[in-house]
Protein backbone atom coordinates (compact mmCIF):
# COMPACT_ATOMS: atom_id res chain seq x y z
CA UNK A 1 0.00 0.00 0.00
CA UNK A 2 1.24 3.48 -0.89
CA UNK A 3 0.98 5.76 2.11
CA UNK A 4 -0.16 9.36 1.55
CA UNK A 5 1.82 12.20 3.20
CA UNK A 6 0.79 11.94 6.88
CA UNK A 7 -0.50 15.51 7.09
CA UNK A 8 -2.82 14.86 4.11
CA UNK A 9 -3.95 11.38 5.15
CA UNK A 10 -7.71 11.43 5.88
CA UNK A 11 -7.06 8.75 8.50
CA UNK A 12 -5.73 11.49 10.77
CA UNK A 13 -8.26 14.20 9.90
CA UNK A 14 -9.83 14.25 13.36
CA UNK A 15 -6.57 14.61 15.29
CA UNK A 16 -4.67 17.04 13.05
CA UNK A 17 -6.82 19.98 14.30
CA UNK A 18 -5.39 19.19 17.76
CA UNK A 19 -1.77 18.23 17.08
CA UNK A 20 -1.29 20.14 13.81
CA UNK A 21 0.21 18.95 10.52
CA UNK A 22 3.65 19.40 12.05
CA UNK A 23 2.67 17.17 14.97
CA UNK A 24 1.40 14.51 12.59
CA UNK A 25 4.69 14.64 10.69
CA UNK A 26 6.57 14.24 13.98
CA UNK A 27 4.49 11.15 14.84
CA UNK A 28 5.21 9.63 11.43
CA UNK A 29 8.96 10.07 12.01
CA UNK A 30 8.85 8.59 15.52
CA UNK A 31 10.07 5.20 16.59
CA UNK A 32 8.66 3.68 19.77
CA UNK A 33 9.39 0.40 21.58
CA UNK A 34 6.45 -1.17 23.42
CA UNK A 35 7.65 -3.75 25.92
CA UNK A 36 4.90 -6.12 27.04
CA UNK A 37 1.87 -6.91 24.90
CA UNK A 38 -0.55 -7.74 27.69
CA UNK A 39 -3.40 -5.57 28.96
CA UNK A 40 -1.45 -2.30 28.72
CA UNK A 41 0.51 -3.06 25.55
CA UNK A 42 -2.59 -4.32 23.73
CA UNK A 43 -4.17 -0.89 24.04
CA UNK A 44 -1.13 1.40 23.76
CA UNK A 45 0.12 -0.37 20.63
CA UNK A 46 -3.24 0.00 18.89
CA UNK A 47 -3.60 3.68 19.78
CA UNK A 48 -0.04 4.49 18.70
CA UNK A 49 -0.44 2.64 15.40
CA UNK A 50 -3.84 4.24 14.82
CA UNK A 51 -2.40 7.69 15.57
CA UNK A 52 0.25 7.23 12.86
CA UNK A 53 3.48 6.61 14.78
CA UNK A 54 6.04 5.74 12.09
CA UNK A 55 7.56 2.63 13.61
CA UNK A 56 6.71 0.37 16.53
CA UNK A 57 8.96 -2.30 17.99
CA UNK A 58 6.72 -4.66 19.94
CA UNK A 59 8.07 -7.21 22.41
CA UNK A 60 6.59 -10.05 24.44
CA UNK A 61 7.63 -13.55 25.52
CA UNK A 62 4.23 -15.12 26.22
CA UNK A 63 1.63 -17.08 24.33
CA UNK A 64 -2.03 -16.05 24.45
CA UNK A 65 -3.94 -17.68 27.31
CA UNK A 66 -7.69 -17.82 27.82
CA UNK A 67 -7.42 -15.69 30.99
CA UNK A 68 -5.82 -12.86 28.92
CA UNK A 69 -8.93 -12.20 26.89
CA UNK A 70 -10.81 -10.05 29.44
CA UNK A 71 -8.38 -7.21 28.70
CA UNK A 72 -5.84 -8.02 25.97
CA UNK A 73 -7.87 -6.79 23.03
CA UNK A 74 -5.19 -7.50 20.41
CA UNK A 75 -6.11 -11.19 20.63
CA UNK A 76 -9.19 -13.27 20.08
CA UNK A 77 -10.32 -16.77 20.95
CA UNK A 78 -8.62 -18.46 17.98
CA UNK A 79 -5.31 -16.86 19.16
CA UNK A 80 -5.21 -18.96 22.37
CA UNK A 81 -1.94 -20.90 22.54
CA UNK A 82 -0.19 -18.78 19.89
CA UNK A 83 2.79 -16.43 20.49
CA UNK A 84 1.68 -12.87 21.14
CA UNK A 85 4.21 -10.72 19.27
CA UNK A 86 3.61 -11.99 15.70
CA UNK A 87 -0.18 -11.97 16.19
CA UNK A 88 0.00 -8.42 17.53
CA UNK A 89 2.20 -7.37 14.59
CA UNK A 90 -0.32 -8.70 12.08
CA UNK A 91 -3.21 -7.00 13.84
CA UNK A 92 -1.41 -3.65 14.07
CA UNK A 93 -0.32 -3.81 10.43
CA UNK A 94 -3.91 -4.42 9.45
CA UNK A 95 -5.04 -1.46 11.60
CA UNK A 96 -2.50 0.90 10.00
CA UNK A 97 -0.44 -0.39 7.05
CA UNK A 98 1.56 2.87 7.11
CA UNK A 99 3.07 2.11 10.52
CA UNK A 100 6.13 -0.09 10.29
CA UNK A 101 5.96 -2.92 12.83
CA UNK A 102 8.93 -4.88 14.08
CA UNK A 103 8.34 -7.65 16.59
CA UNK A 104 10.37 -9.77 18.97
CA UNK A 105 8.97 -12.88 20.62
CA UNK A 106 11.14 -13.58 23.68
CA UNK A 107 12.27 -12.27 27.04
CA UNK A 108 14.11 -8.97 27.10
CA UNK A 109 17.42 -9.20 28.99
CA UNK A 110 20.52 -7.12 29.61
CA UNK A 111 22.25 -9.28 27.00
CA UNK A 112 19.79 -8.80 24.14
CA UNK A 113 18.23 -5.38 24.81
CA UNK A 114 20.68 -3.42 22.64
CA UNK A 115 19.91 -5.59 19.66
CA UNK A 116 16.15 -5.88 20.21
CA UNK A 117 15.33 -2.23 20.99
CA UNK A 118 18.27 -0.35 19.49
CA UNK A 119 17.75 3.36 18.91
CA UNK A 120 14.21 4.60 19.53
CA UNK A 121 12.63 7.91 20.55
CA UNK A 122 10.63 6.47 23.44
CA UNK A 123 10.18 3.21 25.35
CA UNK A 124 6.84 2.20 26.83
CA UNK A 125 6.98 -0.06 29.86
CA UNK A 126 3.82 -2.17 29.59
CA UNK A 127 5.25 -5.01 31.67
CA UNK A 128 3.93 -6.85 34.72
CA UNK A 129 7.21 -7.37 36.58
CA UNK A 130 9.91 -5.15 38.07
CA UNK A 131 12.79 -7.41 37.11
CA UNK A 132 12.42 -6.59 33.40
CA UNK A 133 11.33 -3.01 34.16
CA UNK A 134 14.69 -2.36 35.78
CA UNK A 135 16.47 -3.80 32.73
CA UNK A 136 14.50 -1.22 30.72
CA UNK A 137 15.32 1.54 33.19
CA UNK A 138 19.07 0.79 33.02
CA UNK A 139 18.91 0.75 29.21
CA UNK A 140 16.93 3.98 29.13
CA UNK A 141 19.59 5.77 31.23
CA UNK A 142 22.53 4.22 29.44
CA UNK A 143 21.17 5.30 26.04
CA UNK A 144 19.45 8.53 27.11
CA UNK A 145 16.05 7.31 25.88
CA UNK A 146 12.90 8.44 27.75
CA UNK A 147 10.93 5.67 29.48
CA UNK A 148 7.19 5.85 30.06
CA UNK A 149 6.21 3.40 32.80
CA UNK A 150 2.73 2.15 33.61
CA UNK A 151 1.44 -0.48 36.00
CA UNK A 152 -2.00 -1.58 37.07
CA UNK A 153 -3.67 -3.63 39.78
CA UNK A 154 -7.37 -4.00 40.53
CA UNK A 155 -8.91 -0.52 40.03
CA UNK A 156 -5.60 1.28 40.52
CA UNK A 157 -2.79 2.26 38.24
CA UNK A 158 0.30 4.40 38.04
CA UNK A 159 2.22 6.15 35.29
CA UNK A 160 5.67 7.69 35.54
CA UNK A 161 7.63 9.33 32.74
CA UNK A 162 11.38 9.22 33.27
CA UNK A 163 13.73 11.30 31.13
CA UNK A 164 17.39 10.46 31.72
CA UNK A 165 19.31 13.43 33.10
CA UNK A 166 16.13 15.43 33.80
CA UNK A 167 13.97 13.38 36.18
CA UNK A 168 14.46 10.74 38.85
CA UNK A 169 14.83 7.29 37.32
CA UNK A 170 12.29 4.49 37.62
CA UNK A 171 14.52 2.43 39.92
CA UNK A 172 14.16 5.09 42.59
CA UNK A 173 10.38 4.73 42.73
CA UNK A 174 10.42 0.93 42.41
CA UNK A 175 9.18 -1.29 45.25
CA UNK A 176 11.93 -3.07 47.18
CA UNK A 177 10.51 -6.46 46.36
CA UNK A 178 8.70 -7.71 43.30
CA UNK A 179 5.48 -9.36 44.37
CA UNK A 180 4.71 -12.52 42.44
CA UNK A 181 1.31 -13.89 43.02
CA UNK A 182 -0.49 -17.09 42.14
CA UNK A 183 -2.96 -16.59 39.32
CA UNK A 184 -1.60 -13.21 38.17
CA UNK A 185 -2.51 -9.62 39.06
CA UNK A 186 -6.29 -9.15 39.45
CA UNK A 187 -7.66 -6.60 36.96
CA UNK A 188 -10.83 -5.64 35.13
CA UNK A 189 -10.17 -5.08 31.42
CA UNK A 190 -11.77 -1.64 31.29
CA UNK A 191 -9.69 -0.55 34.29
CA UNK A 192 -6.47 -1.52 32.51
CA UNK A 193 -7.78 0.37 29.50
CA UNK A 194 -8.00 3.61 31.51
CA UNK A 195 -4.30 3.46 32.42
CA UNK A 196 -3.22 2.24 28.97
CA UNK A 197 -5.17 5.01 27.22
CA UNK A 198 -3.57 7.63 29.44
CA UNK A 199 -0.13 6.11 28.80
CA UNK A 200 -0.75 6.23 25.02
CA UNK A 201 -1.99 9.81 25.26
CA UNK A 202 1.10 10.94 27.16
CA UNK A 203 3.29 9.15 24.59
CA UNK A 204 1.57 11.00 21.74
CA UNK A 205 1.87 14.35 23.55
CA UNK A 206 5.57 13.72 24.14
CA UNK A 207 6.24 12.69 20.53
CA UNK A 208 4.55 15.79 19.14
CA UNK A 209 6.48 17.93 21.65
CA UNK A 210 3.79 19.23 24.00
CA UNK A 211 4.09 17.06 27.12
CA UNK A 212 5.07 19.21 30.07
CA UNK A 213 5.14 16.94 33.12
CA UNK A 214 7.86 14.29 33.01
CA UNK A 215 9.02 13.28 36.47
CA UNK A 216 5.48 13.29 37.84
CA UNK A 217 4.00 10.13 39.34
CA UNK A 218 0.39 9.87 38.17
CA UNK A 219 -1.85 7.75 40.38
CA UNK A 220 -5.20 6.72 38.95
CA UNK A 221 -8.09 5.36 41.00
CA UNK A 222 -10.55 4.27 38.33
CA UNK A 223 -13.05 3.13 40.96
CA UNK A 224 -13.46 6.69 42.25
CA UNK A 225 -12.61 8.22 38.88
CA UNK A 226 -9.79 10.29 40.35
CA UNK A 227 -6.24 11.13 39.34
CA UNK A 228 -3.56 12.37 41.73
CA UNK A 229 -0.17 13.67 40.70
CA UNK A 230 3.01 13.68 42.76
CA UNK A 231 6.02 15.60 41.53
CA UNK A 232 9.16 13.56 42.19
CA UNK A 233 12.16 15.74 43.03
CA UNK A 234 14.93 14.83 40.52
CA UNK A 235 17.49 15.07 43.31
CA UNK A 236 15.71 12.13 44.98
CA UNK A 237 17.33 9.93 42.35
CA UNK A 238 20.10 8.09 44.14
CA UNK A 239 21.66 6.65 41.01
CA UNK A 240 22.01 9.61 38.69
CA UNK A 241 24.51 12.42 38.53
CA UNK A 242 21.80 15.11 38.80
Q: Rounded CA gap, 169 and 156, in Å?
A: 22
Give the nearest distance from C-beta 23 to Zn ion in angstroms: 31
Give the nearest distance from C-beta 229 to Zn ion in angstroms: 19
Of positions 32, 74, 122, 237, contacts Zn ion by CB under 5 A: 237
Which CB, 104 or 141, lies closer to Zn ion? Answer: 141
Give the nearest distance from C-beta 168 to Zn ion in angstroms: 5
Longest alpha-carbon distance in the chain: 50
Give the nearest distance from C-beta 174 to Zn ion in angstroms: 9
Q: What residues does 33 pair with on adjacent strands?
A: 57, 123
DSSP assignment of 8-34 equals G-GGGTTTHHHHHHHHHHHHHT-EEEE
Residue 136 lies near Zn ion (rule: CB under 5 A): no
Q: Candidates 97-105, 142-150, 156-164, 232-240 — which segment interacts with Zn ion by CB under 5 A?
A: 232-240
Q: What is the CA radius of gyration of the chain?
A: 17
Which CB, 64 or 169, lies closer to Zn ion? Answer: 169
- Judge contact between 62 and 36, C-beta under 8 A: no
Which CB, 76 or 178, lies closer to Zn ion? Answer: 178
Give the nearest distance from C-beta 171 to Zn ion in angstroms: 5
Give the nearest distance from C-beta 146 to Zn ion in angstroms: 14
Contacts to Zn ion from residues 167-196, by CB under 5 A? 169, 171-172
216-221 vs 226-231, strand pairing mode: antiparallel
For 52-82, letters b (16+ CB in 10 Å) and e give: bbbbbbbbbebebeeebeebbbbbeeebeee
Other beta carbons within 10 angstroms of residue 242's beta carbon come to 14
Which CB, 93 or 171, lies closer to Zn ion? Answer: 171
Which CB, 162 or 199, lies closer to Zn ion? Answer: 162
- Judge contact between 60 and 86, C-beta under 8 A: no
Which CB, 208 or 232, lies closer to Zn ion? Answer: 232
Interacting residues toward Zn ion by CB under 5 A: 169, 171-172, 237, 239
Amino acid sequence: MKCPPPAKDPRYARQIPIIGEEGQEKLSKSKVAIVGLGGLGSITSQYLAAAGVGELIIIDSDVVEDNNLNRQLLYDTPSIGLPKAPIAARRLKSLNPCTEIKWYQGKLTEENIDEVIGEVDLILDCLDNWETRLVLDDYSWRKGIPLLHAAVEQFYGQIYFSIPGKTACLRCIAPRQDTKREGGIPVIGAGVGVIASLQALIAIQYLVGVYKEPGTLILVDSKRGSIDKIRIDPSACRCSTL
